[in-house]
C-alpha cells in the first residue's frame, strides 16, 4: 500500500527533517512520491512516479527550507492504477464554489461500486482519485440544495457520513484538506500515528523518530484539525478493516504486474 504524512500547525514551521525521515521509507514504497504545501492560499504540489530516494527533483526541494502550516506528503506502493504521474498523490480538485480539495490515501477500495462511474472522469486510474471526485460530487449536491456555500461544520458532518460508508470492507486511511479543515481518518489498527507537541500535529503511517510520545490515531473516527488543534471529532463507526489472505493475494498479483510495467 502506501504511507502518508501530514503536518498541521498554527504558525509556519520548517519540517525538512521530518520529511527526510518520511521519504526514506520509499525503499518499500517505490512507485512514486508527492508533496503538497499551502502558499498564499494556494496548493503547491510536486509529485513523480519514481522512488523518492531516487528523485533529483525531491532532493532539490529538500535542499531548501520547506516551511508551512499545512503540509502533506505521500509515498506510493501501488495497489490500484499504473505507475504514472497522474496516479501519484496528492490529488486536487475544485468544487462548484471554487474551493480546492486535496486528498492523500493509504489503502485500497475493494468493494464500493458507486466509485466506478468516475473511471472515465479521473485523470489517472486509481481508486484514491475516485474517492476525491465522489466527495466533491456530494459537496456540490449539498451546496446546490442549500443554495449557499457550506460551513466548516457542515462539511465535516458530510464527510463523516461519506467516509463511514466508504470504509465498509475497505482500508481507508485518509488525509483531506479543504483550505480550512484537515480531515484525518484511519480504520486499520496500528497504521496511523500522531505526535502532538509545541510545533503542532505530526501524523504519519509510522512514527518518524524515537520520541516516546507518538500515539496511535484512534480508530474508526474522523478528526478535523485547524491550527494544530482538534476542533471536530465524529462518533465511532464499526467498519474496522481486517487484512485477510484474500487481500494479500490480490496485492501480490498486482505487484507482479507493477514490476513488469517498471521494466517495460
Q: What is the CATH number of the domain that holds 204?
A: 3.60.20.10
Put simply, whether the predicted model's pTM sits higher than 0.75 gets the answer yes
169-192 pLDDT, tens digit each: 999 999 999 999 999 999 999 999
- Helix, strand or coil, per DSSP, at residue 233: strand
257 pLDDT more than 60:
no
8 pLDDT more than 60:
yes
* pLDDT bracket for residue 251 (50, 70, 90): low
204-234 pLDDT, tens digit each: 999 999 999 999 999 999 999 999 999 999 9
Nearest to 90 by CA among 2, 18, 16, 167: 2
Nearest to 39 by CA among 66, 57, 61, 60: 66
27 pLDDT more than 90:
no
- What's the structural domain count of the chain? 1
Give just the sign of the alpha carbon dihedral 145, 236, 77, 108.
negative
d(C-alpha 222, C-alpha 232), whole Å: 8
Give the relative orientation of helices 152-166 and 127-146 as an angle to the nearest 10 degrees.
Answer: 140
Domain that holds residue 198: 2-263
Amino acid at each position: 500500500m502506501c504511507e502518508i504524512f501530514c503536518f498541521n500547525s498554527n504558525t509556519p514551521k520548517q519540517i525538512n527533517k521530518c520529511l527526510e525521515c518520511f521519504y526514506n521509507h520509499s525503499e518499500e514504497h517505490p512507485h512514486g512520491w508527492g508533496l503538497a504545501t499551502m502558499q498564499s492560499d494556494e496548493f503547491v504540489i510536486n509529485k513523480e512516479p519514481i522512488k523518492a530516494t531516487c528523485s533529483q527533483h525531491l532532493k532539490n526541494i529538500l535542499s531548501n527550507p520547506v516551511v508551512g502550516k499545512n503540509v502533506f506528503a505521500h509515498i506510493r506502493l501501488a495497489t490500484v492504477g499504473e505507475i504514472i504521474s497522474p496516479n501519484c498523490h496528492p490529488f486536487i480538485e475544485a468544487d462548484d464554489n471554487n474551493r480546492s480539495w486535496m486528498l492523500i490515501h493509504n489503502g485500497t477500495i475493494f468493494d464500493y461500486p458507486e466509485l466506478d462511474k468516475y473511471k472515465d472522469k479521473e485523470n489517472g486510474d486509481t481508486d484514491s482519485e475516485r474517492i476525491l471526485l465522489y466527495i466533491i460530487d456530494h459537496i456540490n449536491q449539498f451546496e446546490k440544495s442549500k443554495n449557499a456555500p457550506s460551513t466548516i461544520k457542515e462539511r465535516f458532518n458530510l464527510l463523516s457520513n461519506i467516509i463511514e460508508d466508504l470504509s465498509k470492507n475497505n482500508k481507508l486511511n485518509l488525509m483531506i484538506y479543504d483550505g480550512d479543515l484537515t480531515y484525518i481518518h484511519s480504520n486499520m489498527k496500528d497504521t496511523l500515528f500522531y505526535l502532538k507537541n509545541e510545533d503542532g500535529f505530526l501524523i504519519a503511517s509510522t512514527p518518524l523518530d524515537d520520541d516516546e510520545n507518538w500515539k496511535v490515531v484512534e480508530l474508526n473516527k474522523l478528526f478535523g484539525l485547524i491550527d494544530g488543534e482538534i476542533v471536530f471529532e465524529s462518533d465511532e463507526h464499526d467498519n474496522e478493516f481486517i487484512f485477510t489472505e484474500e487481500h494479500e493475494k490480490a496485492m501480490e498479483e498486482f505487484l507482479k504486474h507493477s514490476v513488469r510495467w517498471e521494466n517495460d
